[in-house]
Amino acid sequence: MSWIILLLVLIIASVRTMNSKKPMSVSVIIPAYNEEKTVANVVGVVKSLNYVDEIIVVNDGSVDGTEQKALEAGATVLSHVKNQGKGAAIKTGFKNSKGEIVLFLDADLHKLMPKQVDKMIKPILNGESDVVKTKFKREAGRVTELTAKPLLNFFFPEIKFEQPLSGQFAAKRSFLKNIELEDDYGVDVGIVLDADVMGARVKEVDIGNISHTMSSLYELNIVATEVVRTIVDRANIYGRITMIDSLGRYIRMGVLGLSLTTLGFFFLFFIRIRPSYLALYLGFAIIIIGIIMAAYYIVKILRASIKTILRPDSKSRNLRSFFYMHSPLIVSALIMFAVLFTMLGSVHVDEGKISIEPAARNVIFWKQPVENQTIDIRGPYTVDSAIENESSIIRMPEDAMKTLELNYGDSIIIGDESYALRPPIDGEDSIMRIPYDARTTMGLNVGDVISDGELRNLFKDIYAEKKISLNTSNITATEGTIIKNTAKDAKIINLYLNNKKIGSTSGILKDGNYRIYVDGYLYKIITIDKDANQKTFLVTDGDDVIKIEVAGDVKSSNEFPTSDNGILFYFNF
């Protein structure tokens, strides 16, 4: 039994806690101008709602008994010395109110019922919306139908309220304090538009039959003028007017095309994505799409603009309008060309390839395919110290290896010391880890940044030994090479094993003596003489015969070392 009593106590406590939660405070603001006949009734209806915390009537320069009637009805009255407009009265009331929910009611409402006011406030009290506007049956709606709705459909087609100018609003203070309230009759539609653009939850509630004091045609003209001005102003502020005609659409799309082209260049040169070819292909795809789009719409712009400029009414005015409308396109084009010329200003043409290297990355185009690749993006690289216990290892990014035409597992000689080339550590795709002695010899410091175009200059005349890819497992072959920074006339050397071609390499081959090693020993020294007829050299090991054939011409940035600078080939059977 005791546990049942405990459960009941907990339930009662929970209910009391829920009921004890303080509801949001409510302020009602009633702008009034010469409304002595109806203002007291409106105040009385609002007072009948026990959750309303304050009622403020803003007497907007009335010359009748509006102020006295409102005071007698029990409202707090704030008065303007002269009539300033409905919006100004609402702003005065809002500034002097305290409620977390603020309801704006017209003072000229006839036969207003408490349940109608309740419908305006309860959706916010219940957490269903941030702003509540009303719709109701009435005899006239000329301003709404003839001015507000057509303009809203044109500039703000997403707004579908039946009565955007209902005049009765409730909203959270947190929303209202972040918008600019109009000083005149445009205040109602201004709240609707601001709420829509700011993403506030807006609910339109039907409050049934309600009627206002009928306005004269002159008064309706004033209301219509102020509503139109507010809608057009908001459309301008929120970007709904700028370039809405066909020419404007062409300009927007032309700007988009030029912007895409510029974005494509940035993808090529400044944005790092792995694998690197993804940025390459994506950049070129964006550039192509941008160029096609820009060209298509620029043609349309030129056609439309020529017609505009040649109109006879005012050529000077049309020219000013032309430059005003086209300034976004002109600026976008200038930015794109600035980027393009910056790229082209960094072009280096070498035999076999074209290299475009701005401050950030290096884009290489090969005139002759290199390993089935005709374009690549590389660099830059940051120098760092070697990992502990790796004093004879250089860790180098794959892009740098491609530029030096070396492979992982090869070795280079720096300052009489041999260093094995290894891949970078994961996450260090742009880091070159070089031991202290090698850095000192090369004149490098930790933190130095090396562009890809400078890499071969940095390693110029350094001797390396690299493995040759062979299509046989019977032997392995290593060649000596000296790194150069420019491509020169070179020779292709084919390798044959027992008259079957097993691989080839290329390099600058000068007249002179070259050393060939077999299984760790000097096998022979061959002599290259361009004027001599001998183009083949043989290396034998038992029944196996390797034929070295000096074949066709090619361009290369690597040079075969003569006997006093290194080895030509090193074969292991």
> What pLDDT was estimated at residue 548?
92
Q: What angle do CA 440, 444, 446 make, to 5 degrees?
A: 105
User: CA 215 to CA 274: how far, in whole Å?
Assistant: 70
β-pairing, 381-385 vs 449-450, is antiparallel
Q: Which residue has the tokens 């309008």?
A: 321
> What pLDDT was estimated at residue 561?
94
> What pLDDT was estimated at residue 234?
80
SS3 assignment, position 561: coil
Report the C-alpha dihedral over residues 88, 94, 96, 101, rounded to 10 degrees. 170
Which residues lie closer than 8 Å to 566 by C-beta, 6 or more apart? 463, 465, 480, 482, 515
Which residues lie closer than 8 Å to 488 by C-beta, 6 or more apart? 351, 508, 555, 556, 557, 559
- DSSP classification of residue 24: P
Tens of pLDDT, residues 32-82: 999 999 999 999 999 999 999 999 999 999 999 999 999 999 999 999 999
The token pair at 189 is 């539609």
**Ranges in the chain, pLDDT < 70:** 1-22, 137-146, 211-220, 239-248, 270-277, 304-329, 339-375
> What pLDDT was estimated at residue 549?
92
> What pLDDT was estimated at residue 542?
85
β-pairing, 362-370 vs 353-356, is antiparallel
Concatenating the DSSP letter of every residue in 162-230 gives: S-TT---EEEEHHHHTTS---SSTTHHHHHHHHHHHHT--EEEEEEEE-B-PPPPHHHHHHHHHHHHHH
> What pLDDT was estimated at residue 140?
44
Cα within 13 Å of Cα(469), Cβ side:
6
The token pair at 19 is 């009921």
> What pLDDT was estimated at residue 558?
92
